[in-house]
Copies of this chain bind each other. A is one copy, B any other.
Amino acid sequence: MRTCMKDGDAAHDLSHIYRVTAYARDIAEYMPCDREVVMISALLHDIGRPAQDRDETLDHADVGARMAYTFLLPLTDEAFAIRVRDCIRTHRFRAGDQPATVEAQILYDADKLDVCGALGIARTLLYDGAHGIPLSTESGWSFLREYETKLAGLYDRFFTERARELAAPKRSAAEAFHQALLSELQTVSDSQRLLDELLRESNAKVV
């Protein structure tokens, strides 16, 4: 896992893995589950990221699930390797397969907790900066679009009660930041419209 994560971007570095594992361990305390499956899945959940970074057509959840299975097979019984594989395969936020077991739901929730709150916003912006994604645009992908279409909705999509509890204070922080950002961008866009008029008027004189 350490080998796979060493070149991770700032949003998916080792500290992300440790935070997700810590969240997963916390949630696992509150419900009957196979704690070892949860912990190993959390530690290995992003090992497919370097493959996806090299080839964007790959899905790091699918790749990572297969890698984890292959890695575990000589070390554990096959049933254990399969359960870890299935947790990792469905940890990603998307429309496809949903997490089917308690352990898979815990991993999903733990991973999503790390894009909640101020920390989630900070991680998303670091990722956007590294990938040339702008703060906001008229059309196309941007931080604001990601917040509004993905991050803002996560708080209502947790599988476990404990994750909802952990997310509540994070939700307030994220919503306050989003509101402040919108309001600052609005002020700026009003001033910019005035400025555009001014520049058009004085164009001949200035140039």
Contacts and interface: CB of A to CB of B under 8 A. Distances in A.
A100 interface: no
A171 to B, nearest CB: 11
Interface stretch (A57-65, A87-95, A121-129, A150-158): A121-129
B132 A188 contact: no
Main secondary structure on A side of the interface with B: helix
Copy number in the complex reads 2
Contacts of A173: 176-177, 180-181, 184
A141 interface: no
A74 to B, nearest CB: 12
B118 A10 contact: no
Contact of A195 (B11, B18, B131): B18
Contacts of A67: none
A102 interface: no
B10 A135 contact: yes
Contact of A19 (B169, B170, B192): B192
A119 interface: yes
Nearest to A144: B122
B126 A191 contact: no
A31 interface: no
A19 B191 contact: yes
A184 B119 contact: yes
Closest 7 CB pairs of A and B: A129-B129, A22-B191, A173-B180, A125-B125, A126-B129, A118-B180, A118-B181
